[in-house]
Amino acid sequence: MKQLRIRTLAGLLVVAAVLSWAGARLWDAFGTLPAVPLFAPIVLAAIAAVLLATALAFRSRLRAQRERRPEAKGVDPLVAARALVFGQASALVAALVAGMYGGVTVFLLGYLEVPARADQALYAGTSLVAGAGVIAAGLYLERVCKLPEDGDDNTPGAAPTV
């Protein structure tokens, strides 16, 4: 599998933010902007927590396996591959979602004097931060699942991922 590039994720985030900002302006000009759900940052934070927990579990198991500890419990390659795909997919989708909420946040910052819009700006901004957490956790999981280079068991290099 190819490794995700931060440049690609940042590009997705920026494009989604610009489109979302323009869409929010257009939507607000013709009617009422839909509300940002309260559970959006909560769900994103939960996904980030699952990705981070998976990465930390894999990291400790792989370290024990590399150190050849007798009680070391290996990682099934298929499970690692599935976790890697989940991390990459989550990071890509989170870049789009964080960009969307980022664009809405920028739009709503112009209306902070309206209490309802201020609350929506807070929810959207929190969703942006939680989406960035999903991206970071997905990239960390990808880094943990990276295979060492051939013939070099201890040094992580630019080897292909699982």
- Dump pLDDT digits (tens) for 32-49: 888 889 999 999 999 999
pLDDT computed for residue 161 by the predictor: 52
3 state SS of 67 = coil
Question: Is the distance from CB of 102 to CB of 132 less than 8 angstroms?
Answer: no
Kindly report, residue by residue over 72-98, the tens digit of the pLDDT: 777 788 988 899 999 999 999 999 999
pLDDT for the residue numbered 90? 96
Within-domain flag for 119: yes
Q: Does the residue 109 lie in any domain? A: yes
Residue 160 placed within a domain? no
User: Three-class SS string for 43-62?
Assistant: HHHHHHHHHHHHHHHHHHHH
Quote the crossing angle between the two packed helices 77-108 and 6-30, to the nearest 10°.
Answer: 40
| Lowest mean pLDDT, pick from 12-26, 53-67, 125-139 | 53-67
For residue 70, being part of any structural domain is answered with no
Domain span at residue 11 reads 1-26+39-63+76-143
Nearest to 40 by CA among 118, 76, 94: 94
The average pLDDT across 131-156 equals 78
What are the counts of helices (DSSP H) followed by strands (DSSP E) for the chain? 4, 0
Query: Is residue 104, in this structure, part of any structural domain at all?
Result: yes
Please give the structure tokens belonging to residue 36: 């940002």
Give domain status of residue 156, yes or no. no
The answer, yes or no, to whether residue 157 has pLDDT greater than 70, is no
Q: Which two tokens stand for residue 35?
A: 């509300």
Domain count, the chain: 1
Q: Could you give the angle at the alpha carbon of 3 between the alpha carbons of 129 and 131, nearest 5°?
A: 10
Give domain status of residue 34, yes or no.
no
In a domain, 111, yes or no: yes
